[in-house]
A and B are shown apart, each in its own frame.
Chain A
């Protein structure tokens, strides 16, 4: 049990008073960043990175990773109370979290979300501790074709599982991919769909789309019902917490499934966002009362939150062992390591054991600290909701505008935010799903490059997607998902003939 010894040593590194202080500071900053739409985990860490250069490396990475945990927790607060996902991976949490809040069960929804996040993260850290070498070895075998197959599966799952019409799901997904393709092509350097304008050179950032579609779109939808803000108040009382915990025990199957999906997607690296959607879809498929999903089912909060945190945490595994970030935020952390002169990879474990095991130990501690901090401070974050909409509405608009601007310091992005906002409203009214659009925008470049790499490997032959059992299995599953909506129609047709 060499890992256990290493871990104990890590705890002795992380469990100093200054480091505990940095943990609490990081978690609090992270929640703030996660709660404010537009200031995401990746963004927030990037902004705070320069502040840590003068700090001790281990303390710095502990604080930065705690900002990450805090942002993961914070995303759930706005999703449940405001129906505004602070982060793309909390989009799936809004499906059932917000209806729960509307029914006056915000406390239960938040407790479920935080606890599930904690459970997901905890198992992912266990995975990092004990399975790091094994999983890293497996992920090394992943080629471009396998990567594309995983992404394909994620997108096809949307068509198969969404409640919206399949044509609309496909249309917004393609729109997302098209928006992601705008700008300079990373492989050939060709300018695509920029039409000679400099504003379009850098393409569309998914953060702008998220702020517009969800933030501004939700404000317009709220206005439809007059000036009453739909956000719900949240007081978390101890007995609500205990009751919810008791209820959560019933969903152990969903939790295990979501942990597995999350760890898989985090390591491979599919990322936290697709993981949360897949876990939600699986929970809905497996449930007895499918209709209660989307109307306020605790299980619909448990599944995406567990998976998102499991994925967000296990995304650090390939980053540490291979130097491949599993999520945008992990990519920013990777940048930090490089600035400090640390080369992530297998050598890091032998050359800087204090650093690596201190970080891993801080993941355990950071999540425990995080759970306590969020459960105790939620009323404070949620106090914003007692302010009337005539105040909070324009303030949210100002925050969204600032958030949209700070992504690239571009005024064009602020204008785009408004355009996305109007479409967010139209899409919601016309039952176009928004999540596939955002996901396609996030993963568009990744999916394209893995597809093109596969094509390069096979010299343009699609056979590469059937070349081995792993990739063929993933592709087969993808097509099953894609064609799933046809099944009821086919059944109906056959029954009509008989």
Chain B
């Protein structure tokens, strides 16, 4: 991607992230304008502005500004680009993003307590190289403290899954 063999660290350039984010914002702009037109952007006689009146202009601003960013990124396409992140850095980010995504999916299906226990244990064991006792104490202690604080003290129920159900909560 980047012709920078002599650079200290090879990595990904800003080129594609810049274009993709601008395209994403542009797509949101299209959705906003489209939906505003659907609910009406005009003036309802006797009632005032319709629901799409204000968001329509917001969508237009979004289209113009993201189009401007996209245009800028495309005109610079062939030129040298600043580095987005090195491959080493991106690998570290993925080391967090992948477990984080799995954790969020787990929260949806297993509830927050068991998922949190596994997440904390995973990081402490794999990245922190902590001993079994410290890992177990922290991994069990944090969800337990959250349980006491929220379910018992603040009386705010947190998402629970089949395992808590089995234990009778």
Contact = CB atoms under 8 A, between A and B. Distances in A.
Q: Is the interface of A mostly helix, strand, loop or mixed?
A: helix
Interface string B101-122: 1011001100010001001101
Given A174-B61, A177-B55, 18 more contacts: A48-B154, A167-B66, A223-B95, A224-B89, A390-B127, A390-B128, A391-B128, A391-B130, A394-B124, A397-B119, A398-B143, A401-B107, A405-B112, A409-B156, A411-B159, A414-B104, A421-B100, A455-B49
B49 A460 contact: yes
Interface in B62-86: 62, 64-66, 68-69, 72, 84-85
A114 interface: no
Interface of B: 14, 17-18, 21-22, 25, 28-29, 31-32, 35-36, 39-40, 43-44, 47-55, 58-59, 61-62, 64-66, 68-69, 72, 84-85, 89-90, 92-93, 95-97, 100-101, 103-104, 107-108, 112, 116, 119-120, 122-124, 127-128, 130, 138, 142-143, 146, 150, 154, 156-159
Contacts of B142: 395, 398
A414 B123 contact: no
B123 A402 contact: no
Given A391-B124, A397-B100, A415-B108, A452 B35 contact: no
A201 to B, nearest CB: 14
A422 interface: yes
B123 A394 contact: yes
Nearest to A410: B159
A476 interface: no
Given A178-B59, A388-B128, A398-B116, A223 B25 contact: no
A430 B17 contact: yes
B108 A426 contact: no
Interface of A: 47-48, 165, 167-168, 170-171, 173-175, 177-178, 181, 185, 187-188, 190-193, 216, 219-220, 223-227, 388, 390-391, 393-395, 397-398, 401-402, 405-406, 409, 411, 414-415, 417-418, 421-422, 425-427, 429-430, 432, 448, 451-452, 455-456, 460
B interface secondary structure, majority? helix
Nearest to A427: B21
Of A219, A223, A422, the most chain B CB neighbours within 10 A belong to A223
A481 B116 CA distance: 46
